[in-house]
Amino acid sequence: MNPAWFGDQELIPHMLKVFGNRQITANVFILPLVRAENMDRKELAEKVHKMMEDVYAEEFPKLGERSSHL
């Protein structure tokens, strides 16, 4: 079961499923500080998304091959 809450999922049923698990393993990555100076929100989002994709591809190369979107 994927513990991420996304899309059109209802919150309460999702939380009941998540809390019903005995264990959840998470990978947490700390990215470098990003300064938003001279960037609009879309440029900032693109930059951070690219940084996340790069870390994801480095840490999970086989998974990254199957999906081009996080």
64 CB burial (10 A radius; 0-12, 13-18, 19+): middle
CB 39 within 8 A of CB 33: no
Which comes out higher in pLDDT, residue 21 or 65? Answer: 21
> pLDDT tens digits for 18-35?
999 888 888 888 999 999
**Res 64 pLDDT > 60:** no
The confidence score (pLDDT) of residue 27 equals: 82
4 CB burial (10 A radius; 0-12, 13-18, 19+): exposed
Domain ranges in the chain are 11-66
> pLDDT tens digits for 36-52?
999 999 999 999 999 99
